[in-house]
Chains A and B, each alone.
Chain A
């Protein structure tokens, strides 16, 4: 087996002839194109290169790698290259290899940023999102000012549809959840209260618990998952389809046209839904009281009336209003901030629900603390 061998032969007309002999296989020690570079840098008057492969034995991709190196060297030195001396198979493979240029950056590996840089990046992102939120709230405030002066423009038919979507359409699920929450509250309370023979106070627990907090919170969370997500999806899809741009070029503010009716609808409907949820929760407690604690309906009713003051109901309804505003705000804001791809709509809805629920919980905490301070 003859080892691969590379010789150079300079002809008079300035062409450098590369003579390839032996078996050019990857397993053999292959000459490097570096040798050619050395010759090119030392020798003058070379204007081209050609090949002589009459004594070339077997070859594989090792030869091709070498030849690609030679081609690069020739291109760098601006030499003309005559490939007629190469076997035809080699030429075809070379043509294949050089047909498509290597993609830029394809070899770059994923870079992992250092810890501090990631923290800093997140902090900057957080700050930006806070500014965006303030910006959005500002725009909505302006839009509400336009609404109260009668200059905001949206379609009444759209408004009616949205009202229906966040009231009547939500009734079944609100009924179910509130009823069950009332049942759960009653059961948990009943076990403890019966230890002291105070089973009748289940009505107080359920009544105050639902009207003051649970009714509004559960309704808020249902609406965040249901209506907030649907607002984000609807507005996000319009953003992707460039419908929002279309609105703007027709001379309409998308905030007035899309966000305002949704804010109004939820702010109006959430207190009503909260009242309804309160009733359902009390009904759940009543079921437990009557069926498990052997109380009469009237007994339970009077105990509830005695315990639940109007203040409790008002606090619940006010909370409901606040949650409605927050859920609508989160849904519409994430929708308006939606990117321009289909996957962005999914992100927007997820983010709308998360933002909605987080803000509900924070608002509840704030309202509770305020009520505590005011002693109501």
Chain B
């Protein structure tokens, strides 16, 4: 089932939590709503579920307006950040709950319910724990029970509110892959909220980046990561270094570097900021050309697949993060306090003095 969000706004005590948002989620896709806390992503999800009513705009499921339809009739599955399992019921009862409380004429028979619950518990790999209570399970297991419970009523739409937010890093990683696999199996239209860019990049078909109640960019993970629409998206998806400079009739001067920017030819003179990913910073011990920037090595973090550097520019004292491969790191043999020459490549220049 496809979801369409049209001009939706929601105001809490004068604060615009969601501000005129338009979004279409095609049937069967797994879409991530990504943004910092307070960006309105959870509110938007709750509006889709019907747990909040929008002040403006409408929600369409499969092209049918459902804005005024009650949560109970929307047939959505909702997975909460803190699981929200019913504590006085066993795992089995939790999953079966949505079926057993159906009115008599819609309720499946006892054996059908039992079959279905066991099938779902198998799907979430918790078959042997059916008789336990939620308090006897680990966080990851609880969240999988919550997912099974949400799926039991055969929802048209699956909504997940920071489903892995309360779990530790290792379990989170595992559950992410598992969720992706599960979605490939059952193909229910899913929207999930996260503030973790890695999670969004790894799991989703499409990412919707939100900030201050507005959508900044929508696209596949590659599109959003490789060509961010604006400085906010650039900064939010991974680490980034900022170089301040000026643009003058299509030529940018960033530190000592001159770049041609034909798209800004009509701009006579403006402040500009260049964004560079840490792995796009070249480091050398000797000066090769005049456009290199002098810096001091402040800190080196050598553990992991890449070596991370914290450098301090000598002219502006700004801190720059850089990443080098292990081989290059060994080749340069850098120590904290060494003086180096750095050269950014793949600069992405945005006009204005954008502050993050």
Contacts and interface: CB of A to CB of B under 8 A. Distances in A.
Interface of A: 78, 82-84, 91, 94-95, 151, 153, 155, 241-243, 245-246, 248-253, 257
Contacts of B74: 249
Contacts of A250: 97-98, 101, 149, 153
A82 B71 CA distance: 61
Contacts of A246: 78, 80, 84-86, 149
Interface in B1-52: 46, 49-51
A83 B313 CA distance: 11
A169 B46 CA distance: 39
B316 to A, nearest CB: 8
A112 B87 CA distance: 44
B180 interface: no
B315 interface: yes
B72 A251 contact: yes
Q: Is the interface of B mostly helix, strand, loop or mixed?
A: loop
A82 B103 contact: no
A249 B271 contact: no
Nearest to A153: B101
A78 B82 CA distance: 49
Contacts of A242: 80-82, 84
Nearest to B93: A155
Interface string B90-110: 000000011001110000000
7 contacts: A82-B315, A243-B84, A246-B85, A248-B50, A250-B98, A250-B153, A253-B72
Contact of B71 (A91, A153, A249, A257): A249
A248 B46 CA distance: 12
Given A78-B271, A153-B101, A245-B78, 17 more contacts: A83-B315, A84-B315, A91-B317, A95-B317, A153-B103, A242-B82, A243-B87, A245-B80, A246-B84, A246-B85, A246-B86, A248-B50, A249-B78, A251-B73, A251-B102, A251-B153, A252-B101
Nearest to A94: B317
B208 interface: no
A252 B82 contact: no
B49 A249 contact: yes
Interface range on chain B (Cβ under 8 Å from partner)? 20 to 34
Contacts of B85: 243, 246
Interface in B314-333: 314-317
Contacts of A252: 72, 101
A250 to B, nearest CB: 4
B121 interface: no
B255 to A, nearest CB: 11
B150 interface: yes
Nearest to A158: B88
Contacts of B283: none
Contact of A249 (B51, B82, B314): B51
A352 B50 CA distance: 28
B117 interface: no
Which of A82, A95, A251, A253 has its CB near the most chain B CB atoms (within 10 A)? A251
A257 B203 CA distance: 36
Nearest to B98: A250
Contacts of B84: 241-243, 245-246
B76 interface: yes
B77 interface: yes
Contacts of A249: 49, 51, 71-72, 74, 76-78, 150
Nearest to A78: B271
B77 to A, nearest CB: 7
Contact of B103 (A151, A155, A257): A151
B356 to A, nearest CB: 10
Contacts of A253: 72
B51 A245 contact: yes
A98 to B, nearest CB: 9
B72 A248 contact: yes
A250 B102 CA distance: 10
